[in-house]
Structure 1
Amino acid sequence: MLTKALPYSPLHRRWIGKMSTVLAANEDTLRLIKKMGRSDVRLQFDNGVGTDYLAKGPRRFKPDAGAVRLVWVGRILPRKALPMALDALAKVRHDWMLTIVGNGLAETTVRQMIAERGLSERVHWAGRRLTWEEVRAAYLEHDALLFTSLRETSGVQLLEAMALGLPVITLDLHGARDVVPEEAGIKVPVTTPAEVVCGLAAAIDRFASLSVDKKMRCLVRAGSSPEPTPGPRGRLRLSFCTGSLWGGNVKAKSGEIDASERNNDATIPGSSDGRVLWSLGLLHYLPGGPR
């Protein structure tokens, strides 16, 4: 509701109008910013993985391999919707197992969350933050990424998984809608909470039912690299805000980044001495909430 009201907020329209350049990290945010009067907003993806992260070779699925192995990666925050993922798994008909990779809540809270749904025997969680090498190994040991974030600029987990040829089961929302190719996974429409839970369960069952050939086609599509979006060059002056703009508690911050480290193929006009709003989906998530 608050997001829909942003285009009508004089504060936000005035704030965004002062920026010399506005960049949005996904199509949802781009459309929102255009409604706020900035038709010149440009799409700029904000995540990436290095070539050294790519899989060394193709993944192989085996016929009758048993339970479908799912991995959920991210900080355990409300907007990441781990409880929704667990609710969906409780409805899945096929045999499955889930590995949770991440932290963010007290261990007792997470364990209780799993136990209340009767899933303790099939959900595995280390109870700690894993290292970069351990996360990469987890992707390689599973059959698909289950990504349930309700508010996500783009989701680097999506790129990490697809860089390793891992199919994705996710919501058709925000960055996931833009990043995941149609044939690289299954995207569930976002409607009501009950329908989304059932949709995720059906998507997992659908994936588990796929033949080895169809799963391999998902791997090939997931492993194909999307075309990079040219980034800015030089040093950019950034202006951004933290805190709740709606509550009036606004703290303006500014800083510089060396954009030449990101991409040297494009220059943003007027950015060398002006102010730039690097959106990264920020407006889509206001007010409040951890990012």
Structure 2
Amino acid sequence: MHVLVVPSWYPTTEAPLDGIYFAEQARCLQAHGMDVGVVYPEHQSLRRLAATTFGHKHFQTEWTTDHGIPTLRRYGWNVWWQVPPGLRCRIGSAVRLARKYVDRRGVPDVVHAHSARWAGAAAARVSDAFGVPYVLTEHFSGFQRGSILPWRRPLVDRGLRQASGLAAVSAGLKDALTGREGVVPQDVAVHPNPVRASFFTRPPKGRPSESPFRFVTVAGLNSRKNIGGLIDAFTQAFEASNGASLTILGDGPRRAALEARARRLGVEDQVAFRGQQGRSGVREALWGAHAFVLPSRHETFGVALVEAMATGLPVVATRCGGPADIVTEKTGLLVPPDAPVALAEALCTIRNRWGAYDAECIRAHAVTRYGPAPFVRRTQSFYRRARAA
């Protein structure tokens, strides 16, 4: 089966982890015998604009093999696409890319849009142009946060209504989608994201010694991820103690403020900021930890949680959407979001009960539910039903 993927966000040379899971999903499908391609009208943030980058990216179209997947990109800059005419321009750019894609690789059997943020409307137009069905998987937390701007809603709703198949990556996101006009619960499946189970494995040399007890988190340093709340909770639980440490992987606009917060609270020697890491760096950090923490205010799924569990780590997460589907009593603890006292208590509990968690059981849970095999089965069935409809 030939599948054309249209993602609302995707890895770039300047932001290589943005939408990395879309690329990994495409590669997983390709590895299981499917013919997969991607079209992406790339609109970089002007904050990244420099003479060198503009020299490489000046609104040209280029074929690449990103992540081993045939990919047609149009390189551009985010001048005005966040206003109505600009968003329609981006959608039109995706349709033009799809026409060039078809000229070289033929008409796909199905188009797969990731998020109705804009790719759904683009996929609807591609579907009309070539007479093929499209499916849409939703990942965007804006549906849970109620942050879809009014002028975007007609395009978002078109993408949702016209799809031959709809899925959300968690039950919480499904509930948010089915609150929209014309979207009913029975039309939305729950298709969680997969984990690279062959890459995120148990540590080959075993876990480090229990002292200090090492917590790790992987998150963008922004308000939604609430790393400040995690630092507060860690301080409550382990202030002036050498028995625990916290490693923070990720970068973002709040990094300087968070580092200052750790200093102000007196835990700067226990809290390490490692910055943004590649996949190998994330895996190394997980292998060197005893437990994983995700303190988010909103999560549509929680890829980082599943990756941590695939390495056998118990987890602490907030009931902020997706984690409620993932975390069980055997794999970790759930606490309310924005509740530092409850989070501090959970951190202490995980440390005190760490020996009771079965790493093999945690990994088996992650692989059985979120590994490549169940993902491919769900996705193939998704495509077959869309084509039959």
Task: Give yes or no for TM over 0.5.
Answer: yes
Shift of 1:18: 3.2
Shift of 1:202: 0.2
Q: For the residues of structure 2 that align with 1:205 and 1:189, how far apart are their CA atoms? A: 16
Matched residue type, 2:385: P
The correspondence of residues 169-184 of structure 1 with structure 2, limited to 5 A, is 169-184=316-331
- Tell me, yes or no, if the aligned pair for 2:207 and 2:287 is still in contact at 8 Å: no
Shift of 1:17: 2.9
- Tell me, yes or no, if the aligned pair for 1:231 and 1:267 is still in contact at 8 Å: no
- Tell me, yes or no, if the aligned pair for 2:193 and 2:375 is still in contact at 8 Å: no
- Tell me, yes or no, if the aligned pair for 1:230 and 1:265 is still in contact at 8 Å: no
Shift of 1:270: 3.3
2:292 counterpart (124, 141, 145): 145
Aligned-residue Cα RMSD (Å) equals 3.3
Match of 2:229 in 1: 84
Match of 1:117 in 2: 265
**149-158 vs 79-88, which deviates more?**
149-158
Shift of 1:3: 4.8
Matched residue type, 1:201: A
1:227 counterpart (360, 363, 369): 369
CA deviations 1:31-70 (Å, max 9, x no partner) are: 23233342311111134214133225584575xx333210
SS of aligned partner of 2:301: coil
SS of aligned partner of 2:340: helix
Shift of 1:172: 2.2
Matched residue type, 1:35: G
Aligned residues: 234
Shift of 1:119: 1.4
Q: For the residues of structure 2 that align with 1:121 and 1:56, how far apart are their CA atoms? A: 26
Q: 1:231 to 1:271 in 2, by over 3 A?
A: farther
CA deviations 1:198-236 (Å, max 9, x no partner) are: 111000111121162x03x2x233211233585689xxx
- Tell me, yes or no, if the aligned pair for 1:73 and 1:157 is still in contact at 8 Å: yes
- Tell me, yes or no, if the aligned pair for 1:165 and 1:222 is still in contact at 8 Å: yes
Match of 2:386 in 1: 270
Greater relative CO (CA pairs within 8 A, separation 6+): 1
Is residue 353 of structure 2 the alignment partner of residue 206 of structure 1? Answer: no
- Tell me, yes or no, if the aligned pair for 2:229 and 2:295 is still in contact at 8 Å: yes
Q: For the residues of structure 1 that align with 2:305 and 2:217, how far apart are their CA atoms? A: 11
Q: For the residues of structure 1 that align with 2:383 and 2:328, how far apart are their CA atoms? A: 28
SS of aligned partner of 2:237: coil
Q: 1:108 to 1:227 in 2, by over 3 A?
A: closer
Q: For the residues of structure 2 that align with 1:134 and 1:104, how far apart are their CA atoms? A: 17
1:97 counterpart (229, 245, 257): 245
Q: 1:79 to 1:139 in 2, by over 3 A?
A: same
Shift of 1:79: 0.5
- Tell me, yes or no, if the aligned pair for 1:232 and 1:267 is still in contact at 8 Å: no
**9-18 vs 167-176, which deviates more?**
9-18
Percent of paired sites with the same residue: 22
CA deviations 1:71-114 (Å, max 9, x no partner) are: 11111111111001011111105731111111113653332122
Q: For the residues of structure 1 that align with 2:162 and 2:379, how far apart are their CA atoms? A: 25
SS of aligned partner of 2:231: helix
Match of 1:162 in 2: 309
Matched residue type, 1:81: N
Match of 1:21 in 2: 165
**18-27 vs 69-78, which deviates more?**
18-27
CA deviations 1:130-176 (Å, max 9, x no partner) are: 23222111111111011112222212111211111111111123111
Match of 1:66 in 2: 211
Match of 2:70 in 1: none
Match of 2:220 in 1: 75
How high is the TM-score relative to the length of structure 2?
0.53
CA deviations 1:241-276 (Å, max 9, x no partner) are: xxxxxxxxxxxxxxxxxxxxx95455343358x9xx
**149-158 vs 224-233, which deviates more?**
224-233
SS of aligned partner of 1:269: helix
Matched residue type, 1:160: E
Structure 1 unmatched runs, 5+:
234-261, 275-291
- Tell me, yes or no, if the aligned pair for 1:21 and 1:271 is still in contact at 8 Å: no
Q: For the residues of structure 2 that align with 1:69 and 1:142, how far apart are their CA atoms? A: 5
Matched residue type, 2:325: D
Q: For the residues of structure 1 that align with 2:376 and 2:352, how far apart are their CA atoms? A: 44
2:201 counterpart (49, 54, 73): 54
